[in-house]
A and B are shown apart, each in its own frame.
Chain A
Amino acid sequence: MSDHTSEHRTMTLKLIVWRQKGQNEPGRFETYVARNITEHHSFLEMLDVVNEELIREGKDPIAFDHDCREGICGMCSTVVNGVPHGGQERTTVCQLHMRKFKDGDTIYLEPWRARAFPILKDLVVDRGALDKIIQAGGYTSCHTGGVPDANSTPVSKAESDYAMDAAECIGCGACVAACPNGAAMLFTGAKISQFAALPQGQVEAPERVAGMVNAMQECGFGNCTNHYECQAACPKGIHVKFIARMNREFLKALFRAKSGSHTFIGEGQD
């Protein structure tokens, strides 16, 4: 057990940070020094310290997205030393702590970089494209109130656990930022797999996979070429098997469309 009552040794770090005023402005790296950082600072608290100093000096603080700071809201989104969220297994950048760094380290900070995520300012990007994918079918079309008793349809524990494994995605977009193709297939595959495993998701399965895959392409995301960088970067440990499940669901839907029971891509689907 570490002794919290003793004086903490402090670190000094060199930060090389991407600064960009707005979406259509040129960006560049600038260098800052973070002083008096202890091992108990979270990464974002370290950035708070740097920003407080910048504000006191009358300079523009580094803009970065964050909210819950406990690893669940999915808002934080910074590439640290080339790795989205900084590379600690199953950890968002808000839960990364400075004990993972050494005194004198140089740290590079960049925004998510992907065609579908325009940079708004510094480390802040627009991830509205992920919402568009969900809007294209990431739901069951049940009406409020018009549903059966919750226990009327048993779901095997195995299927339920599988759905939960997929549903843990926090929608941060690290998978997209990590992918050399800027693909959102881990994000989309996870949502499709969640519904594919549950009885409630069966009725609209073909329309769902068609709609969401279409939206992915329309939003400018790339395709999967099996690098698995997405899984490595995912702070929730979402598995690439869900991409395979999406592909299988897509093929199933295609066969059903061929047999005439469902419309499909380009056949009346928006």
Chain B
Amino acid sequence: MILDGKAPNGPIESTWDRHRFEMKLVNPSNKRKYKILVVGTGLAGASAAASLGELGYNVEAFCYQDSPRRAHSIAAQGGINAAKNYPNDGDSIFRLFYDTIKGGDFRAREADVWRLAQVSNNIIDQCVAQGVPFARDYAGYLDNRSFGGAQVSRTFFARGQTGQQLLLGAYSALSRQIKIGTVRMFPRTEMLDLVVADGEAKAITVRDLVTGEIRVHAGDAVLLCTGGYVNVFYLSTNAMGCSVTALWKAHRKGAFFANPCYTQIHPTCIPQAGEYQSKLTLMSESLRNDGRCWVPKRKEDCRKTPNSIPEEDRDYYLERKYPSFGNLAPRDIASRAAKEQCDDGRGVGPGGRGVYLDLKDSIARLGEQVIRERYGNLFEMYERITDENGYKVPMRIYPAPHYAMGGLWVDYDLMSNLPGLFVLGEANFSVHGANRLGASALMQGLADGYFVIPYTIANYLARTRPGKVSADHAECRKSVEEVKGYTRKLLSVNGNRTVTEFMRELGHLMWNHCGMARSKESLSEAIARIPAIREEFWQNVKVGGTGEEFNQQLENAGRTADFLEFSELLCRDALDRNESCGGHFRVEYQYPDGEAKRDDENYCYVAAWEWKGIDKPPELHKEPLKFENVHLAVRSYK
């Protein structure tokens, strides 16, 4: 099937304005008759729930954490992009649009990206009105900094905690609606199934994580704002509870999964120290504004202390390879370059899996105090984890899985192929193409929640009668029984291996075979091995306790079971895409200098996969991508 993203035609500058006028509206007095279910309360979910509640819709919101304020958006450090052009350095909506299309390696839908760039400015206004304390200059105006993949300073920030402050802003707006009564909040509640009735998404089945109660919530539309899936690699920068579960349950009910192979590996993370490790910690790539990446030129120097290696024996490989962007090369390029140096035997630290990020020159130029003001919290974090002082010896970094550009397929209205199912933020595939630029995830989450879904959801609701499906609908009752049965099944295996052992095994396989570099052989091997791990899981996993209590083993088991299915789709997508682009690097497709070789003739499309059953290969649907405003070109940062 050829998919249609339903993006408006005509001049790109007026696509969103025209579409906003053409869409249907829901009369103010009718809005309260519609119930909207919002799953996840990160930037996308919290901003959507708050804005829809404010409009008068009847909203129910769900999160697995103990409070909506804890969603993983909170961990974003560096900043949020917007085309304000406050620094007068040449930025514009068109430039942000252009940089995002190019940064995504020409694999995103133009009209969606334009809209994102257009509403980026509204987001900053909104956050300031909420009391988000962005950094300011001495005149009291908002400050900006530069970020990877851009040559203008368009990133707004709140120290090293921008995600936290933006999420607390959205959470405060959500809290206000909870108090007013337009939003009902269900914390410690996890979505375990999507109910599709007469072809439309109308309900979700959830588990109360405290009591274990499994129940259904029916509504008129479902919004999935559940983030990304890079915990499929086990070790990532994501929170422990981040999973593919909500997306995977929807996929199994018919929602297409788009471009799962586009995963972002972030270049500046603290390297792994041991096998017991539970997660990897990111340090904002803003450090690359003042830090220089290097490894020793000679292998035999790798075990020396870094300060004893003289300048002429250091290889500042990013500056060498990419003179015009240098240390500010985009994430996919910086990550791959770090891997190349380590593969060449010139990595540092445990297992030779690390490169130096050195702020020595900036400290000499600006003084330690200035560096401390800019990045003090990052140096503290680095020292807490590694016991090393980054002001005295260069920090060691290594790339780590960080973000998923892929996600459920959505049209221009953010609606999936299942009517009534909307997908927002990292959970959808829409704007970042094959690689996301720094400080653009926060922008997308808030754009979708504050400024897109409040308009586009009406376009669906206006065509549907409220309350079509209630909790006693046959499909709802069936879903509850299925989830109960699935839970019993997980608890009844009673084998010999823990859930974590399986997740570690899967993560290891995925990182080695489908990580920063992929090949036909590695992917074929992963596809052959995953079903065996899955089979063993269902015969030999050990999940204790019962379903009717607070049971963290059971929660983890369910998430792992879904990763064991999803990982196979990720590898299949990576195997099917015979080109290198953005975060997807196939070793067979590269230029002699090691740069990614895209194939626009054959792969300039969105790959949207349809579930066909556990033992059947998924079916591929394509949405061709057209580039009418930014011309397809080799993406160069040299």
A interface residues (Cβ-Cβ under 8 A, vs B): 1-2, 4-5, 8, 21-22, 38-42, 44-45, 48-49, 52, 55-56, 58-61, 63, 65-75, 88, 90-91, 95, 97, 99, 120-121, 124, 126-128, 130-131, 134-136, 138-145, 147-151, 153-157, 160-161, 163-164, 167-168, 170-171, 194-195, 198, 200-201
A139 touches B176 (CB 8 A): yes
Are A135 and B69 also in contact (CB < 8 A) when A170-B164, A198-B133 are? Answer: no
Q: Pick from A22, A55, A147, A151: contact of B142, CB below 8 A.
A: A151
B72 at the interface (CB under 8 A from A): yes
- Complexed CA–CA distance, A71 and B381 (Å): 9
B553 touches A61 (CB 8 A): yes
B324 at the interface (CB under 8 A from A): no
Are A200 and B129 also in contact (CB < 8 A) when A60-B545, A144-B50 are? Answer: yes
A99 cross-chain contacts in B, Cβ below 8 A: 387
Are A156 and B126 also in contact (CB < 8 A) when A48-B500, A138-B172 are? Answer: no
A58 touches B544 (CB 8 A): yes
Pull 29 A–B residue pairs with CB atoms less than 8 Å apart, ordered by A. Answer: A4-B349, A22-B549, A22-B550, A40-B274, A41-B276, A48-B278, A56-B498, A60-B544, A68-B240, A69-B239, A72-B164, A74-B69, A75-B66, A75-B70, A131-B187, A135-B175, A135-B179, A139-B176, A141-B176, A145-B126, A149-B125, A151-B84, A151-B86, A156-B136, A157-B137, A167-B168, A168-B161, A170-B164, A200-B130
Return the CB mask of B146-188 against A: 1 if under 8 Å, else 0.
0000000000001101001100100111011011000001010
A148 touches B74 (CB 8 A): no
Q: Pick from A38, A90, A141: contact of B274, CB below 8 A.
A: A38
B550 touches A154 (CB 8 A): no
B384 touches A63 (CB 8 A): no
B500 cross-chain contacts in A, Cβ below 8 A: 48, 52
- Complexed CA–CA distance, A60 and B543 (Å): 10
B161 touches A138 (CB 8 A): no
A4 cross-chain contacts in B, Cβ below 8 A: 273, 349-350
- Complexed CA–CA distance, A171 and B167 (Å): 13
A147 touches B274 (CB 8 A): no
A70 touches B175 (CB 8 A): no
Q: Pick from A5, A21, A61, A74: contact of B552, CB below 8 A.
A: A61
B172 cross-chain contacts in A, Cβ below 8 A: 134, 138-140
B171 touches A134 (CB 8 A): yes
Return the CB mask of B175-213 against A: 1 if under 8 Å, else 0.
110110000010100000000000000000000001000
- Complexed CA–CA distance, A145 and B282 (Å): 33
B135 cross-chain contacts in A, Cβ below 8 A: 160
B173 touches A147 (CB 8 A): no
Q: Pick from B67, B165, B278, B381: contact of A167, CB below 8 A.
A: B165
Q: Pick from A48, A120, A128, A198: contact of B550, CB below 8 A.
A: A120
B552 touches A144 (CB 8 A): no
B279 touches A69 (CB 8 A): yes
B125 touches A147 (CB 8 A): yes
How many chain B residues touch A (CB < 8 A): the figure is: 87
- Complexed CA–CA distance, A95 and B531 (Å): 36
A150 touches B179 (CB 8 A): no
B21 at the interface (CB under 8 A from A): no
- Complexed CA–CA distance, A11 and B142 (Å): 50
Chain B: minimal CB distance from A267 (Å): 18
A148 touches B66 (CB 8 A): no
A58 cross-chain contacts in B, Cβ below 8 A: 542, 544
Chain A: minimal CB distance from B395 (Å): 11
A45 cross-chain contacts in B, Cβ below 8 A: 276-278
A5 touches B350 (CB 8 A): yes
Chain B: minimal CB distance from A23 (Å): 9
A167 touches B133 (CB 8 A): yes
Tell me the total A-B contact number using a CB cutoff of 8 A.
227
Chain A: minimal CB distance from B369 (Å): 15
B65 at the interface (CB under 8 A from A): yes
B553 touches A55 (CB 8 A): yes
Chain A: minimal CB distance from B456 (Å): 14
Which residues of B238-256 have CB atoms within 8 Å of chain A's CB atoms? 239-241
Are A148 and B125 also in contact (CB < 8 A) when A45-B278, A70-B381, A95-B381 are? Answer: yes
A67 touches B240 (CB 8 A): yes
Chain B: minimal CB distance from A61 (Å): 7
A128 touches B66 (CB 8 A): yes
Q: Pick from B75, B86, B380, B550: contact of A124, CB below 8 A.
A: B550
- Complexed CA–CA distance, A59 and B553 (Å): 12
B393 cross-chain contacts in A, Cβ below 8 A: 1
Residue of A nearest to B168 (CB): A167
Q: A41-B274, A42-B385, A157-B136 are in contact. List 19 more A-B contacts (CB 8 A).
A: A1-B305, A2-B388, A4-B273, A45-B276, A45-B278, A55-B498, A69-B239, A73-B72, A74-B67, A97-B384, A135-B178, A139-B175, A142-B126, A144-B51, A144-B126, A147-B125, A147-B129, A156-B140, A157-B138
Name which of B135, B279, B387 has the most chain A CB atoms within 10 A of its CB.
Answer: B279
A143 touches B86 (CB 8 A): no
Chain A: minimal CB distance from B80 (Å): 12
Return the CB mask of B594-636 against A: 1 if under 8 Å, else 0.
0000000000000000000000000000000000000000000
Q: Pick from B126, B159, B278, B552: contact of A69, CB below 8 A.
A: B278
B545 cross-chain contacts in A, Cβ below 8 A: 60
Residue of B nearest to A68 (CB): B239
Residue of A nearest to B283 (CB): A70
B388 cross-chain contacts in A, Cβ below 8 A: 1-2
Q: Pick from A21, A48, A135, A142: contact of B130, CB below 8 A.
A: A142
Return the CB mask of B273-298 against A: 1 if under 8 Å, else 0.
11011110110000000000000000
Return the CB mask of B342-359 against A: 1 if under 8 Å, else 0.
000000011000000000
Are A145 and B544 also in contact (CB < 8 A) when A2-B387, A140-B130, A171-B67 are? Answer: no
A145 touches B278 (CB 8 A): no
Residue of B nearest to A131 (CB): B67
A38 cross-chain contacts in B, Cβ below 8 A: 274, 276
B175 touches A164 (CB 8 A): no
A135 touches B273 (CB 8 A): no
- Complexed CA–CA distance, A68 and B65 (Å): 11
B550 touches A63 (CB 8 A): yes
- Complexed CA–CA distance, A151 and B276 (Å): 48
